[in-house]
């Protein structure tokens, strides 16, 4: 009694399955990241692509190594390790020695995700854990920004031997944030918008990152409250500072488009695993990141603050969640 | 013969099977604080070893004369005596290392590993067993300190006991000589020990099952 096209299908539930599975969401994020990534490779050359691929390789190999043997295909197949490596790569300087990029990928998945219990159990955004580790471990290499250059020229610093530093000096150029912080030089808005500045390889093109964000919002993969909350808070806060002393503090447009602000606000803070579940909590989370970013950038020791801002609010997420639980319908306000 | 074997057993228990750091996770404060180089780890390990051995001997000799109600304070006084000896000897013999270790030498007094061995072992066992136990636990702690210090020194500055390993172009892993590096290294080592333990248990189970079948 097998029918090719049965009129009535009898089977145990669930009858309707959610279309938005992890692999689908992860692939959506890939598509959203592609334009900004291509722009980064275009500006910084093939070396940037190598850094990116090395990060992805480090992340995927670590995921594969620590996954239970019989589930390895599934663990790699959901695309989350590739995405982690990809996001990490986008936050790195384009001429970082490849062995460091590989270690970053390993740390991102190993210490950022696997030891917490794998997919969905991590407290901190894995890609940012990888970046934080690299920044603390190799502070010089991680803040050596190369200027956008010839497409086919590969910087020799990429191929430094494992454990060794690069001996050849590369053509370096301070990032817009560094220029602003240490020399008070503003970068033209057009360069910030299209990405023709030095910086991490995926953070420079503001316009394409926003396009990716709109795509994710349209696909409903992204909670719009987080980027809107972060950017809104940062804009308001930096506007106030700008109005107080325009010579000393960067303006709201610079704050939004320079550095990793957009990349972090759109692609990293919105990670559903490490952001709050409730609407109210999401707003608190986003406003907290916005304030912290401006605080760290303007008053802190680092030129860039988005990474630590997101990691700090990641740490606060369980607390926010427990304080913003909505009232169960029908219960009294103060009953537990 | 049986007694001999038991003493050896107590020694191996401390060194490996119940290693104070990797299995019991005791004495982490000095462990994380001073192991930014192998030499510091070695000095700290030897100092703790001496204090543990000395107080074990004294406590197990005096165990019948220490009133139960004040035993902890008695142990502390005995430990503090040996710590003072170590403190002054180090200051006289190796002032550089003494300065590096700083406050952590006097802090051996409140090392929970040492007090734990007094309470759990030396005050209840014979002198012979207590010495074996102190040797084992002290060696285990020493081993952990040197291992941690060596790994952190190799990655952090590219040296081992002050000998350069990788040549002048070595890129130091700054994080490894900072406190987070201590936590990360210790975490990875604990991971390894637990992994070995799990594997061993699995094999033991398999062997037991095969024995049952036969």
DSSP output for B13-70: IIIIIT-TTTTT---HHHHHHHTTSHHHHHHHHHHHHHHHHHHHHHHHHHTTTS-GGG
CB-nearest to A138 from B171, B178, B180 is: B171
CB-nearest to A136 from B170, B175, B187 is: B175
**What is residue A186's predicted lDDT score, i.e. its pLDDT?**
65
Average pLDDT, chain A: 83
Q: Inform me whether the pLDDT recorded for A105 exceeds 90.
A: yes
Q: Cβ A133–B171 below 8 Å, yes or no?
A: no
Q: Inform me whether the pLDDT recorded for A177 exceeds 90.
A: no
Residues 6+ apart with CB under 8 A from A303: A175, A177, A178, A180, A181, A182, A259, A297
Mark out chain A residues that contact chain B at CB-CB < 8 A.
Answer: 97, 100, 111, 115, 133, 136-139, 141, 160, 163-165, 167
Q: Cβ A136–B169 below 8 Å, yes or no?
A: no
CB-nearest to A163 from B170, B187, B191 is: B170
Please write the tens of the pLDDT for every residue from A216-231. 999 888 888 999 999 9
CATH architecture entry for A22-322: Orthogonal Bundle (1.10)
Which chain A residue has its CA at the smallest distance from B176's CA? A137
**What is residue B25's predicted lDDT score, i.e. its pLDDT?**
84
Q: Inform me whether the pLDDT recorded for A185 exceeds 90.
A: no
Does this model's pTM top 0.90?
Answer: no
Residues 6+ apart with CB under 8 A from B74: B62, B66
Name the most confidently modeled range: A246-260, B5-19, B127-141: B127-141
pLDDT category of residue B1 using cuts at 50, 70 and 90:
very low
Q: Inform me whether the pLDDT recorded for A136 exceeds 80.
A: yes
Q: Cβ A137–B173 below 8 Å, yes or no?
A: yes
Rounded Cα–Cα distance for residues B179 and B111 (Å): 19
**Helix, strand, coil distribution of chain B in percent, nearest 5:** 80, 0, 20
Contact yes or no for A79/A56 (Cβ under 8 A): no
Q: Inform me whether the pLDDT recorded for A39 exceeds 60.
A: yes
Rounded Cα–Cα distance for residues B99 and B105 (Å): 10
Name the most confidently modeled range: A180-194, A206-220, A245-259, B152-166: A206-220
Q: Inform me whether the pLDDT recorded for A288 exceeds 90.
A: yes
Which chain B residues are Cβ-neighbours of A131 within 8 angstroms?
none
Domain parsing of chain A, residue ranges: 22-322
Q: Inform me whether the pLDDT recorded for A202 exceeds 80.
A: no
Q: Inform me whether the pLDDT recorded for A166 exceeds 70.
A: no
Tokens 């040492």 found at: B114
**What is residue A335's predicted lDDT score, i.e. its pLDDT?**
52
Tell me how close the Cα of A162 comes to any Cα of chain B, in angstroms.
9
Domain parsing of chain B, residue ranges: 2-213
Please write the tens of the pLDDT for every residue from A60-89. 999 998 888 888 888 888 888 899 999 999
Between A171 and A208, the higher pLDDT residue: A208
Q: Cβ A164–B180 below 8 Å, yes or no?
A: no
**What is residue B10's predicted lDDT score, i.e. its pLDDT?**
80
**What is residue A194's predicted lDDT score, i.e. its pLDDT?**
67
**What is residue A183's predicted lDDT score, i.e. its pLDDT?**
62
Contact yes or no for A278/A321 (Cβ under 8 A): yes
Residues 6+ apart with CB under 8 A from B120: none
Determine the average pLDDT of the residues in A100-120.
89
Any CB–CB contact under 8 A between B169 and chain A? yes
Contact yes or no for B171/A98 (Cβ under 8 A): no
Backbone angles phi, psi at A227, to 5 degrees: -60, -40
Tokens at A149, concatenated:
């250059």
Determine the average pLDDT of the residues in A119-148.
86
Residues 6+ apart with CB under 8 A from B188: none
Which chain B residues are Cβ-neighbours of A139 within 8 angstroms?
174
Tokens at B54, concatenated:
């000395």
A43-52, A107-116, A280-289, B204-213: least confidently modelled range: B204-213
């Amino acid at each position: 009694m097998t029918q090719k096209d049965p009129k009535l299908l009898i089977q145990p539930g669930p009858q309707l399955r959610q279309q938005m599975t992890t692999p689908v969401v992860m692939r959506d994020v890939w598509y959203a990241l592609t334009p900004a990534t291509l722009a980064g490779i275009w500006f910084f050359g093939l070396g940037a692509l190598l850094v990116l691929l090395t990060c992805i390789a480090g992340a995927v190999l670590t995921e594969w190594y620590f996954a239970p043997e019989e589930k390895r295909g599934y663990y790699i197949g959901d695309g989350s390790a590739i995405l982690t490596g990809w996001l990490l790569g986008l936050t790195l300087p384009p001429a970082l020695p490849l062995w460091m990029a590989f270690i970053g990928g390993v740390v991102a998945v190993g210490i950022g995700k696997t030891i917490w219990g794998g997919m969905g159990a991590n407290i901190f955004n894995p890609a940012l854990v990888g970046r934080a580790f690299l920044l603390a471990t190799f502070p010089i290499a991680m803040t050596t920004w190369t200027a956008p250059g010839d497409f086919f020229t590969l910087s020799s610093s990429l191929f430094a031997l494992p454990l060794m530093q690069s001996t050849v000096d590369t053509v370096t150029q301070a990032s817009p944030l560094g220029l602003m912080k240490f020399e008070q030089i503003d970068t033209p808005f057009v360069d910030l918008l299209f990405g023709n500045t030095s910086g991490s390889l995926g953070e420079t093109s503001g316009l394409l990152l926003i396009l990716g964000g709109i795509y994710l919002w349209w696909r409903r993969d992204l909670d719009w409250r987080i980027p809107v909350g972060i950017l809104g808070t940062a804009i308001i806060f930096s506007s106030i500072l700008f109005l107080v002393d325009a010579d000393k503090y960067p303006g709201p447009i610079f704050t939004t488009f320079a550095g990793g602000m957009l990349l972090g606000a759109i692609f990293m803070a919105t990670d559903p695993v490490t952001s709050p579940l409730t609407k109210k909590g999401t707003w608190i989370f986003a406003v907290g990141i916005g304030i912290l970013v401006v605080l760290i950038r303007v008053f802190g020791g680092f030129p860039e603050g988005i990474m630590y801002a997101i990691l700090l609010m990641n740490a606060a997420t369980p607390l926010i969640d427990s304080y913003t639980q909505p009232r169960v319908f029908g219960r009294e306000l103060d009953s537990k | 013969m049986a007694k001999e074997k038991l003493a050896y057993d107590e020694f191996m228990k401390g060194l490996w099977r119940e290693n104070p750091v990797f299995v019991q996770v005791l004495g982490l404060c000095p462990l994380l604080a001073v192991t930014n180089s192998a030499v510091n780890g070695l000095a700290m390990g030897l100092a703790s070893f001496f204090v543990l051995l000395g107080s074990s001997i004294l406590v197990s000799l005096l165990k019948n004369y220490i009133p139960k109600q004040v035993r902890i304070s008695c142990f502390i006084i005995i430990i503090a005596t040996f710590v003072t000896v170590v403190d002054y000897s180090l200051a006289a013999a190796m002032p550089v290392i003494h300065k590096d270790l700083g406050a952590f030498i006097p802090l051996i007094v409140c090392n929970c590993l040492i007090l734990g061995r007094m309470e759990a072992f030396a005050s209840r066992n014979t002198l012979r067993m207590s010495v074996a136990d102190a040797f084992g636990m002290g060696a285990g702690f020493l081993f952990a300190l040197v291992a941690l210090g060596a790994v952190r020194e190799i990655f952090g500055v590219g040296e081992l006991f002050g000998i350069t390993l990788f040549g002048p172009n070595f890129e130091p892993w700054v994080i490894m000589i900072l406190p987070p590096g201590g936590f990360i290294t210790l975490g990875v080592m604990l991971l390894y020990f637990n992994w070995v333990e799990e594997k061993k248990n699995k094999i033991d189970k398999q062997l037991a099952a095969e024995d049952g079948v036969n």
